[in-house]
Structure 1
Amino acid sequence: MSLVVPVILGSVRSDRLGIRAAHFLVAQLEARGFEAPLVDPAELKLPLLDRMYKEYPKGEAPKVLEDLATLYRRADAFVVVSAEYNHSIPPALSNTLDHFLEEYFWRPSGIVCYSAGQYGGVRAAMQLRAMMAELGAPSIPSLLPIPRIHKALSEAGEPAEDWLGKAAKKFVDELAWYAEALKAKRAEGTPY
């Protein structure tokens, strides 16, 4: 089954390393035949949240939000790539996610977290799990933490360590299972 899985990157820093993880995940998803567009807040330049997409009168939302809403409505799942800032998620990620709500409903999310240190950003992932559930896109049980990202992935997002390809395969297998199951259920209708 072909799936649409946007990869939402959370960092806008000029020297960010998360772009490596985002490119790695896009490649992993595309290798499975999935459509995996990168949602990069550094390129999108979203405004700080003043109004959610749904709060604009029909046809009056900024084009960037309209385009994202169109993509998100087509999505079968989401991959969220997050750094860990002060044991939490980056503000750019929160801002990117918070512009939408209903567009996430009934779709699973997979969380990829990373850090320069040995823990791979898992403290941020725990907060992101709660946030994604509240948005209506609960995370799958597995995480894909990437410790020492500067060593684990090349600048192009190619894995430098064998374990990463194996872990990514398991992660994508699990995400695909949930995405296919929920896609079938959405086709039958949703509770509201």
Structure 2
Amino acid sequence: MDTSNLRIGVILGSTRPRRRGESVAGWVLDQAEHRGATYELIDLRDHPLPLLDEPAAASTGDYTHAHTRIWAAVIARYDGFVFVCPEYNHGLPGALKNAIDYLWAEWLDKAAAIVSYGNGEGLRSAEHLRGVLSAVGIAHVRPQTTLSNRADFDGYTATPNEHHEHGLATMLEDLELWAGAMREVRAQR
């Protein structure tokens, strides 16, 4: 399958002032640089969405606020996503959940992969995120990449090893295949 025309957004799911996610997202983008698809950073800090303030449900597509229309236009451009997701108190960050909740059609029938990190490698946040992604119609690939705050960082800098690089490559390969397939599904809808 030709993946050269696929666009994948790498969503940095933390907005904290000091966050490990910047380093993780940078690593993902570096590893994806020579792949067929185009990978681009989507930093939630660049899209400061207030707590969900749209009067209508996202499934209606009736977006009344400019910040929602801008966010919708950003997400609509992509065929798939890599969610870089920390674990906060056994779940995903509120800013990420809020950003997902704002939209529906822009997520529908797209593909996603998850890179999680935390004290427990972000496994609980990734499982929480999978349920949220399913609810908005995103097909998420099974492989995921996990990083431990204790073993895979030097302070706030990610230090993934060869095992992580191999796992990420496998995950991105699956993501690109699914993103291409889901593009066909969207065309049929």
TM range (shorter): 0.7 to 0.9
Secondary structure of the equivalent of 1:142?
A: coil
Q: 1:149 to 1:133 in 2, by over 3 A?
A: farther
Q: Does 1:102 align with 2:109?
A: no
- Offset of residue 146 of structure 1: 1.2
- Residue 128 of structure 1, CA deviation: 0.6
Contact preservation (8 Å) 2:9, 2:81 = yes
> Structure 2 residue aligned with 1:56, among 63, 68, 71?
63
Give the TM-score taking structure 2 as reference length.
0.85
Mapping 1:9-158, distance limit 5 Å: 9-51=12-54, 54-57=61-64, 61-62=65-66, 64-115=67-118, 117=119, 119-148=120-149, 151-152=152-153
Deviation at 1:170, TM superposition (A): 0.7
Quote how far apart the aligned CAs of 1:162 are: 1.8
Q: For 2:46 and 2:74, how far apart are their aligned partners in 1?
A: 16
Structure having the larger proportion of residues in strand: 2
Call closer, same or farther: CA 1:154–1:93 in 2, change over 3 Å: same
Structure (1 or 2) with the greater helix fraction: 1
Q: State the percentage of identical aligned residues.
A: 29
The whole-number CA distance in structure 2 between the counterparts of 1:81 and 1:5 is 13
Structure 1 residues 79-131: Cα deviation after superposition (integer angstroms, max 9, x where no partner)? 1111111111111111111111111111111111101x2x2100111111110
Q: Tell me by how many angstroms 1:65 deviates.
A: 3.1
SS in 2 for 1:104: coil
CA shift, 1:163, in A, is: 1.6
SS at match of 2:110: coil
Name the residue aligned to 2:181: 181
Write the deviation string for residues 52-84 of structure 1: whole angstroms up to 9, x where unpaired: 663334xxx31x433332232221111111111
Listed as ranges, the gaps of 5+ residues in structure 2 are none
Give the corresponding residue for 2:165. Answer: 165
Separation of aligned partners in 1, 2:79 and 2:46: 23
Partner secondary structure for residue 138 of structure 2: coil
- Deviation at 1:23? 1.4
Structure 2 CA distance, aligned partners of 1:74 and 1:43? 16
- Residue 160 of structure 1 and its aligned partner are, at CA, apart by 4.5
Contact 1:10-1:92 at 8 Å conserved across structures: yes
Question: CA 1:106–1:141 in structure 2 vs 1: closer, same or farther (change >3 Å)?
Answer: same
Aligned residues: 182
Distance 1:81 1:4 in 2: 16
In structure 1, distance between residues paired with 2:126 and 2:176: 20
SS at match of 1:170: helix
Aligned CA-pair RMSD: 2.2
Q: 1:134 to 1:144 in 2, by over 3 A?
A: same
SS at match of 1:112: strand
Give the C-alpha shift of residue 19 in structure 1.
1.3
For structure 1, the residue ranges without an aligned partner over 5 or more in a row are: none
User: TM-score normalised to the size of structure 1?
Assistant: 0.84
